[in-house]
């Protein structure tokens, strides 16, 4: 069956030109670009005054961080023009291991949004945390047989790379032996250490938060993924990369983006729109979001409107505002005038479903579990940096007479990370600054990357109530005065829900508002910021089930500053 889109203006992502042209496609593949006005096609659409561009590719995303199952994410992203994503399933892998990866493969099979995968390289992310399982190179190697596996995911364990850790080296070697690339994750790594990291065969980075960092990595041959997610918004700092001498080695990614933001602002289309508003070329941004992302991952015949390419085509009412009207995926119209077609969820093996729906193993918690023993008056406090995933270390005098060290006037409240997979009972408890709660507590089963139970609060009683509620339902919860005032259940691995994007976006917005009502400033995305406070691969100070981790020195640190 042939389809002809005639009289459109094609965005040529190879040359950056805008060409008045017809596009002919058949059986999911483009077979002609040029003058096909007299072709006898089965379906003909006149797209005069419209722009035609390839479907967008998100080059690095964690599906789990959208809190949606793959089918529901597709329903949200397709109207935004995203027809392909490269997903790293290390969130569900930290909870359920290989079964989690297999679940994601099955739950995304056959969707009209292409879902490619990179295999999680760091489960757990560091030796200072406890995931549900440990994945070795031997566990991952058989999964390269899957045709949608395109590489090894972000190598967060850069100390392991630099120190020659044997299993890390084997994971990289296996990926390269299968002809697959290796993605990077090395915030602020530079100089000789960066040379050694890149020399290991690591081709990309999505953690650049400054232009100087990005340029050094770009000059050393890495692809730079310009990230604009929910908590990490790096676009503004990296806008110079849209200039001609740099843009050809860059792509656009969301990494971690909440559904409320997708619903309100968009997806990859939003990044293009923001760049255009900042005076950058929309065509250049589209090149980053299409053919360059495909080239980075070796996706043949994806990401362009040209003969032999997969017919993933967007019809835009306007170029600079990226006003998506229609979307074709493999030649099938899946979005018509902004309305997405009905998409059926793939069938998933019952045993895998059982595994992902039963992921909690935590005893009932009491207020006593959050009490901090007074051993000194000067403590290390995690300081949240708004708009970033990095944190800072504060050294603060603690007034223990105030609610066991909590001082809401100074913004110092409690933080706890509790092991939830294997019933070890391990927990790290300390202090955090920058979240802004003045009363109550919030808790979540989303805490990167091991996804243990994380709780932030102003009093031990509300923290216990919030934590126990999460152990029953997963997800996010807001508690005040012993009562649940808002929640967003995530029963799939404690990370996702089978609700629609519209429903979860509404819940997502409501739990945020509930936290703001408890005093948090609107410059904080409370649950996303909280989720990264436990990720001990991003500087500088983090909390895990084993206690505080100094990421720069890559070691555990005492809560008490007088101690090491």
User: Domain-by-domain residue ranges, the chain?
Assistant: 56-265+341-353, 360-557
pLDDT-based confidence at residue 127 (cuts at 50, 70, 90): confident
The pLDDT value recorded for residue 563 is: 73
**Residue 531's closest CA among 559, 490, 560?**
490
Residue-wise pLDDT for 130-168, tens only, equals 999 999 999 999 999 999 999 999 999 988 999 999 999
How far, rounded to the nearest angstrom, does the alpha carbon of residue 61 sit from its chain's CA centroid? 4
First to last CA, the chain: 70
The pLDDT value recorded for residue 264 is: 93
Beta-carbon contacts of residue 519 (< 8 Å; ≥ 6 apart): 408, 436, 437, 438, 439
Laid out side by side, the sheet with 391-397 consists of: 391-397, 378-384, 427-433, 412-418, 453-457, 441-444, 476-480, 483-488
The pLDDT value recorded for residue 564 is: 61
Residue-wise pLDDT for 274-311, tens only, equals 999 999 999 999 999 999 999 999 999 999 999 999 99
CA-to-CA dists, residue 240 to 54, 389, 555, angstroms: 24, 22, 36
**Residue 266's closest CA among 276, 203, 245, 409?**
276
Residue-wise pLDDT for 489-508, tens only, equals 999 999 999 999 999 989 99
pTM of the model: 0.92
Q: Is the pLDDT of residue 64 over 80?
A: yes
**Residue 235's closest CA among 252, 260, 257?**
252
Q: What angle do CA 399, 405, 408 make, to 5 degrees?
A: 95
- 143, HSE (Cβ side, Cα atoms, 13 Å): 32
Residue-wise pLDDT for 510-564, tens only, equals 999 999 999 999 988 889 899 999 999 889 999 999 999 999 998 999 999 987 6
CA distance 129 to 123: 10
CATH of 56-265+341-353, one of 3.40.50.1360, 1.25.40.20, 3.40.50.300, 3.20.20.140: 3.20.20.140
Here the tokens at position 517 are: 């009502």
**Residue 119's closest CA among 95, 96, 137?**
137
Average pLDDT, the chain: 96
The pLDDT value recorded for residue 524 is: 86
The pLDDT value recorded for residue 314 is: 98
The pLDDT value recorded for residue 106 is: 98
């Amino acid at each position: 069956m042939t389809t002809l889109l005639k009289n459109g203006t094609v965005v040529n992502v190879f040359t950056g030109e805008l060409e008045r042209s017809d596009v002919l496609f058949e059986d999911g593949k483009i077979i002609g670009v040029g003058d096909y006005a007299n072709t006898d096609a089965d379906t003909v659409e006149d797209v005069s005054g419209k722009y035609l561009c390839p479907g967008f590719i998100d080059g690095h995303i964690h599906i789990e961080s959208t809190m949606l199952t793959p089918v529901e994410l597709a329903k949200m992203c397709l109207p935004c023009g995203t027809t392909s994503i490269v997903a790293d399933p290390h969130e569900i892998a930290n909870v359920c291991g290989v079964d989690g990866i297999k679940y994601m493969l099955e739950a995304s099979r056959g969707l009209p949004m292409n879902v490619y995968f990179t295999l999680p390289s760091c489960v757990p992310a560091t030796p200072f945390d406890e995931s549900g399982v440990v994945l070795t190179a031997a566990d991952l190697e058989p999964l390269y047989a899957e045709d949608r596996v395109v590489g090894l995911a972000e190598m967060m364990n850069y100390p392991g790379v630099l120190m020659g850790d044997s299993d890390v080296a084997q994971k990289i070697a296996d990926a390269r032996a299968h002809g697959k690339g290796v993605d990077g994750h090395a915030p602020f790594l530079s100089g000789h250490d960066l040379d050694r990291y890149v020399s290991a065969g690591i081709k990309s980075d999505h953690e650049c938060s400054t232009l100087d960092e990005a340029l050094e990595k770009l000059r050393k041959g890495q692809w730079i993924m310009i990230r604009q997610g929910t908590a990490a918004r790096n676009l503004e700092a990296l806008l110079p990369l849209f200039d001609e001498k740099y843009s050809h080695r860059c792509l656009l990614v969301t990494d971690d983006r909440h559904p409320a933001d997708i619903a309100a602002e968009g997806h990859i289309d939003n990044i293009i729109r923001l760049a255009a508003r900042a005076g950058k070329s929309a065509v250049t941004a589209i090149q980053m979001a299409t053919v360059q992302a495909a080239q980075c991952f070796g996706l043949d015949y994806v990401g362009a409107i040209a003969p032999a390419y997969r017919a993933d085509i967007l019809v835009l009412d306007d170029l600079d505002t990226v006003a998506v009207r229609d979307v074709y995926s493999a030649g099938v119209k899946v979005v018509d005038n902004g309305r997405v077609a009905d998409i059926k969820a793939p069938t998933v093996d019952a045993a895998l479903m059982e595994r992902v729906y039963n992921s909690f193993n935590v005893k009932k918690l009491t207020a006593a579990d959050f009490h901090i023993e007074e051993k000194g008056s000067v403590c290390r406090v995690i300081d949240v940096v708004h708009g970033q995933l990095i944190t800072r270390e504060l050294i603060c005098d603690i007034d223990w007479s105030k609610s066991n060290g909590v001082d809401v006037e100074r913004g110092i409240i409690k933080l706890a990370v509790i092991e939830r997979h294997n019933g070890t009972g391990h927990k790290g408890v300390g202090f955090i600054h920058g979240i802004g709660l003045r009363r109550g507590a919030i808790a979540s089963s989303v805490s990167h990357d091991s996804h243990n139970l994380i709780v932030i609060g102003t009093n031990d009683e509300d923290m216990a109530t919030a934590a126990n509620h999460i152990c029953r339902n997963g997800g996010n919860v807001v508690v005040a005065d012993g009562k649940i005032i808002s929640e967003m259940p995530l029963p799939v691995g404690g990370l996702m829900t089978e609700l629609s994007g519209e429903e979860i976006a509404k819940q997502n917005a409501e739990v945020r508002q509930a936290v703001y009502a408890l005093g948090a400033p609107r410059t904080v995305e409370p649950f996303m910021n909280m989720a990264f406070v436990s990720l001990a691969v991003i500087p500088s100070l983090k909390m895990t089930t084993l206690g505080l981790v100094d990421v720069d020195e890559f070691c555990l640190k005492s809560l008490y500053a007088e101690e090491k």
